[in-house]
Chains A and B, each alone.
Chain A
Amino acid sequence: MEQSSIYSNVINNGATAFVEQYYKIYDTNRGYIDGFYKENSAILWNGNPFSGITKYKEFTQKLPVSTHKVETFDCQQVIGSEKSIMVNVNGEVSYSDHSTKQFHQNFILMPDMEKQGNYYVAHDCFRFV
């Protein structure tokens, strides 16, 4: 019981740090966004699928400058997995053309087998809602 509560704290803290870093880099330093993903990441942006970070990064370079305001986030351990985490985010995003939209974004974070202790975004589903 104690063990699991320690692990849930690790997950909660990890997810909190991830959400903070992710949107900060997306909004201010998008050239580094590939650090969160890998070539086998599945990324969906408003119904447009990207297989792997290379193609998605090309796309993000064309997106106008953004400001994400996170209103809610929450995380859960993925049942049936070794150590995967599901992170759920809702908020508002403004682009430099002054359009403001609400968004829902969900991430599946998985341990990176090639780098001990590292996680990466294995699945990413983003929608204007």
Chain B
Amino acid sequence: MGRYNPENQYLNLENINNDPALGDKRGLVDLNKSEKLGQVICKLIKENFPDVKTISFANNNLRNLRALSKLHQWLPDVMNLSFQNNQLATLRDIEPINGDKFTGLRELVISENPVKDKEMQKFGNFENLKSQIKSMFPSLLILDNEELPEGISFDVGKNINSKTLPLQIMSSFVDSDVTANTIQDFIVKYFTLFDTNRVGLLDLYDDNALFSLSINNNIPSWRKRFERGNMSNWKAYDRNFKSTRQSLRDNLLSKGKNAIIQTIAKLPSTKHPLEDNSKFIIDSWQINVAPQQILIYLNISGEFKEVDVKLNKSFSRTFLIAPSQPQSNAANAGWAYTIFNDQMTVRPWSGNKSFDKAKANPIQIDISGSAKMLNNNNNNSNTSNVFNAAAQLNTNIPVSNGPLEFTPLQLQEQEQLRIQHGLNEIQHQQVQELSRQTRLTYLYSIQCLNEFQWNFASALEGYQKVKNQVPPDGYYH
């Protein structure tokens, strides 16, 4: 009847009472009048479209959903339901869709119903409605295109590890503490600027750096298919080889820091939830791409809010990062590293359910706070481990856990000196680390780093040469 789209497993039952196919029965298919009619429809769907995952009952003038109270029995595999633009006035009108038993339900649309207007009048937002709906439909993830707050849930039956996969899904992988420290610092600073001031990233990109973007329109199968993922705001910069003509690809690759900043400044505004570690998965190790060139290979997947449309999107991003050379733009701007390559993919939101229950890897990274390094001494003697190019790389981001702990009084004094000398966060960390490793006071450490243009390795080396000349009050005791 042209209402079923088998590719998307989507059944469109919008405005069924006015379907021309009904002929002189038009106007008689009123789901408000007969619960029996609802059962007949469920049965017909089951017989004709057993694979259906998404059903839209939009524009049917529904005043309540009693006619559909057995939907979950007939069609337990349906994941997405829309009742957009009906006459549902209260939560009780929605209740007959039995949420406790409809355990596969993921997404619900009730926009353009009186119940929404009433909530808005009463509370000024939909937070109350969202939590009420979540308690009625515990399995629901999305209401009217917005993510619902996580309810109290248990791991039972939600195991991300499929029984037939031979290995467990593991959490973020990092090859060494040096890498962990560097990328933690990088990720927080990079995405904060990406969300607030993209032009501020200019000096972070190398003069020859490359950036390109791919748009993946595919909506994950467990989400609904009422609409395409609405990636239109991103489309203009899409370099996906599957959909972009060969002749355009050269122009869609941004080359050099100026071109890159011009491109990324035009991308839609974003807000990455950096305060929530569980929303990101990060894999990173050091790689050797030329005899003298070690890079950090950083893969990060997660989500952000597209600010203008108030919708979440998911992304994956791969960076290749090098230590910044002394006197380079990056170093002069206080960056300890510089970006060589940057590949970004944006796609409809898919959340973190593929990795948030993963088993922990030995070195953990915590972008929302400071590093938590477990098994710090776990240097097993597996010499064939190709992941450990490690420690050859000096990115000037020092490994913490040095020998010296500062007292609260010292920290207070350091903060004053930091402000007096106008040091940024990276510089502050470098000073503290130099101080930890040499026991030089904060002030002497500033002077030492200043003399060596804030190159940590040179400063440390320089200190070794002059350490006999440092007066006693130059040290913490």
Interface residues of A (CB under 8 A from B): 5, 8-9, 12, 15-16, 19, 40-42, 44-49, 51-52, 59, 62-64, 70-82, 84, 86, 88, 90-92, 95-97, 99-102, 104, 106, 108, 110, 122-123, 125, 127-129
Contact = CB atoms under 8 A, between A and B. Distances in A.
B7 to A, nearest CB: 13
A42 B179 CA distance: 16
A72 B345 contact: yes
Given A96-B164, A128-B355, 14 more contacts: A44-B283, A47-B283, A48-B173, A59-B167, A63-B166, A72-B216, A72-B240, A78-B289, A78-B295, A81-B289, A81-B293, A97-B163, A104-B299, A108-B297
B229 to A, nearest CB: 11
A46 B160 CA distance: 12
B15 interface: no
B386 interface: yes
B368 interface: no
Given A104-B316, A123-B297, A41 B343 contact: no
A12 B218 contact: no
Given A74-B239, A97-B162, A104-B345, A127 B355 contact: yes
Contacts of B289: 78, 80-81, 84, 108, 110
A51 B384 contact: yes
B281 A129 contact: yes
Contacts of A73: 214, 240-242
Contacts of A52: 384, 386
Contacts of A45: 167
Interface in B164-215: 164-173, 206, 208-210, 212, 214-215
Given A47-B358, A71-B216, A78 B165 contact: no
Contact of B216 (A9, A79, A90): A90
B216 A78 contact: no
10 contacts: A42-B387, A46-B167, A47-B355, A72-B216, A74-B214, A74-B343, A75-B241, A80-B290, A102-B350, A128-B160
Contacts of B316: 88, 90, 104, 127, 129
Interface string B253-269: 10000000000000000
A129 B242 contact: no
B169 A46 contact: yes
B343 A42 contact: no
A8 B361 CA distance: 38
10 interchain residue pairs of minimum CB distance: A47-B170, A81-B289, A79-B340, A62-B166, A72-B214, A104-B316, A128-B354, A72-B240, A97-B164, A88-B343
Interface residues of B, number: 65
Interface in B282-307: 283, 285, 287, 289-290, 293, 295, 297, 299, 301
Contact of A74 (B164, B209, B240, B385): B240
B354 A72 contact: no
B387 A92 contact: no
Nearest to A70: B242
B217 interface: yes
A125 B299 contact: yes
A47 B341 contact: no
Contacts of A51: 382, 384-387
A12 B210 contact: no
B355 A100 contact: no
B298 to A, nearest CB: 9
Nearest to B385: A51
Nearest to A46: B169
Nearest to B351: A129
A55 to B, nearest CB: 10
Contacts of A19: 241
Contacts of B314: 129
Interface in B49-72: none
Contacts of B285: 42, 44, 123
Contacts of B170: 46-48
Interface in B366-424: 382, 384-387
B77 to A, nearest CB: 12
Nearest to A128: B354
Contact of B246 (A12, A42, A88, A92): A12
Contacts of B217: 71
Contacts of B167: 45-46, 48, 59
Nearest to A51: B386
Contact of B218 (A48, A74, A76, A92): A92
Contact of B166 (A59, A70, A128): A59
Nearest to B249: A12
Contact of A127 (B240, B283, B290): B283
A96 B210 CA distance: 38
